[in-house]
Amino acid sequence: MKAYETYLLDRAKVEGNHQLATYRRLGGYKALEKVLKGGLTPAQVVDEVKRSGLRGRGGAGFSTGMKWSFMPDVAKDPRPRYLAINADESEPGTCKDRVLMERDPHGLVEGSLIAAYAIQAKAVYIYVRGEYRLPHDRVAAAIQEARAAQLVGQHILGSDFSCEVFMHKGAGAYICGEETGLMESLEGKRGHPRQKPPFPAQSGLWNSPTTVNNVETVFNAPFIVERGAAWHAAIGTANSKGNFLCGISGHVNRPGVYELPFGVTAREILEDKAGGVWKGRQLKAWFPGGSSCALLKGADIDVVLDHDSLRARGSSLGTAAMIMMDDQTSMARVMEVIARFYEHESCGQCSQCREGTQWLSQIFHRIAHGRGQADDIDTLESLAKGMAPGKTICALSDAAAIPTLSAVRLFKDELIACIREQRDPLAAPAPKYATVGAH
């Protein structure tokens, strides 16, 4: 792998960086100072981020500057405006935001404040996955320290900009990571996604203009403000700019969260960072960006990791959470586990999703447990096609359908063999239990 400049995880590696003194010693809050004391207007910050080519890291990869520019004109719309930070991080395989919150919480606070300034939000709500206790506590402590140092609250750094930052804990529901489910939950209601339009920028939290951004997305803002749009736009590939955090997990020697520039290949990450497939085995299949994107075969490992290259392979970058599976993995079992997750997490508002996820789960379960039926593959395919794309209120239905369609396309023979033999040849042998009196 070619040498490259890192910045996202540099401070995270320094002991004590979660505390304000260390963060400041490492240059923290300089970008916020540049914005507020250097006289940058909100429109200039939006423009800088637009020109940097930064794209959202929450899964969809939408242009961040463009999203910020969708907020209505302050002069024409007097409603309060909000920024919601999506720290729900519940997509299977994804664990990058956790590292940022635990080890660089002030980086998130500073990034959130710059984003809030750009969209002229009067408050930031950081919605944290309920199971993330340490990340929650670290960010909450950072907010307190920042408030005491006049970095949060009224007249930040003596400027005209005032902004409060609040934390909110989720309660373990994946659907509350979907941006409109998140807003419902923040408002104290059940996390049921809302029909769009209206989009959050028009009518979000408490019917006011709202921007929802992922943790890693806003974490990038201080670097862009300090070093400039051109610096950021010079890293990466044509339509995917900057460095990104890749969480690689599954059957690898060194799972973890690594910082990489867009444009590296998946093989480079697997071999140079994660130490290759474990136990000397071969790679059979992998998810490039969490369990909601289409599976790829092991042979596709030389694909470049960026939005365009993965789309060209029929998958997507998602949250850049690579889940690697070795050649002894049962795809029926993998899909059984994934389908059960989506069945459990569907909020039930849309019939395609509520019924579809249940059926996918039941069918993969029976295939994996030697009770598959002759027409199961066709049923899986027609069910998944009825669930996506864009047929439901939110994209959870798509998230269940997309991996299903890829599994049926890429591993049909293996699934058919499970049905024909009425057993899963790759299933782990059943554990042997000693029975009473069998000594």
Ligand X SMILES: Cc1cc2nc3c(=O)[nH]c(=O)nc-3n(C[C@H](O)[C@H](O)[C@H](O)COP(=O)(O)O)c2cc1C
Cα–Cα distance, 16 to 14 (Å, whole number): 6
Q: Does 353 bind ligand SF4 (CB under 6 A)?
A: yes
Number of residues that bind ligand SF4 (CB under 6 A): 14
Q: Residue 89 binds which one of ligand SF4, ligand X, none, with CB within 5 to 8 A depending on kind?
A: ligand X
User: Which residues here bind ligand X, judged by CB under 6 A?
Assistant: 56-60, 62, 67, 86, 88-91, 174-175, 177-179, 212-214, 217, 394-396, 399
Distance (Å) of CA 70 to CA 35, 164, 200, 203: 21, 22, 9, 11
Phi, psi for 388 (deg, rounded to 5): -155, 165
CB-wise, 177 or 276, nearer to ligand X?
177
Count CA within 13 A, CB hemisphere, residue 424: 23
Q: Residue 212 binds which one of ligand SF4, ligand X, none, with CB within 5 to 8 A depending on kind?
A: ligand X
Q: Does 346 bind ligand SF4 (CB under 6 A)?
A: yes
Instruction: Report whether 178 contacts 167 (CB < 8 A).
Output: no
Q: Residue 214 binds which one of ligand SF4, ligand X, none, with CB within 5 to 8 A depending on kind?
A: ligand X
Q: Does 354 bind ligand SF4 (CB under 6 A)?
A: yes
Q: Residue 318 binds which one of ligand X, ligand SF4, none, with CB within 5 to 8 A depending on kind?
A: none
Sole window of 1-9, 73-81, 271-279, 348-356 interacting with ligand SF4 (rule: CB under 6 A): 348-356
Q: Residue 91 binds which one of ligand SF4, ligand X, none, with CB within 5 to 8 A depending on kind?
A: ligand X
Q: Residue 104 binds which one of ligand X, ligand SF4, none, with CB within 5 to 8 A depending on kind?
A: none
User: Tokens 């909450």 identify what position?
Assistant: 140
Cα–Cα distance, 387 to 399 (Å, whole number): 9
Distance (Å) of CA 244 to CA 6, 125, 407: 10, 23, 27
CB-wise, 309 or 397, nearer to ligand X?
397
User: Tokens 């490992």 identify what position?
Assistant: 301
CB-wise, 249 or 330, nearer to ligand X?
249
Instruction: Report whether 184 contacts 194 (CB < 8 A).
Output: yes
Q: Which two tokens stand for residue 280?
A: 């000397």
The separation between the first and the last C-alpha atoms of the chain, rounded to the nearest angstrom, is 56
Q: Give residues in contact with ligand SF4 (CB under 6 A).
A: 175, 193, 346-350, 353-354, 392-394, 396-397
